[in-house]
A = this chain, B = another copy of it.
């Protein structure tokens, strides 16, 4: 069994209005040390697979075909083996 953490962020150069809104709001609350806020998504998946390579390959497919909008988003993941 593997547990995968998937991190999805907007591609570089694509405007992040949510991040900007948060940053502005933080600034107006006095948190002006915050220079940049980027928003993204975070998924945790439990994958029942014996083999790390297989799990990795599967995860990559799931991300690129489905979880991630490849037009807008980049992703990375971490895979770790777990008992259950």
Where the two chains meet, the residues of A that have a C-beta atom closer than 8 Å to any C-beta of B are 1, 5, 7-9, 19, 22, 25-26, 29, 31, 33-49, 55, 58, 61-62, 65-67
Which residues of the other chain, B, contact A46 by a CB distance below 8 angstroms?
34-37
This chain: copies in complex: 2
CA A56 to CA B33, docked complex, whole Å = 12
User: Which residue among A7, A41, A45 has the maximum number of chain B CB atoms within 10 Å of its CB?
Assistant: A45
Beta-carbon contact of A49 and B62 below 8 Å: no
Given B40, B58, B67, which contacts A43 in the complex, CB threshold below 8 Å?
Answer: B40
Which residues of the other chain, B, contact A58 by a CB distance below 8 angstroms?
31, 33
Beta-carbon contact of B62 and A35 below 8 Å: no
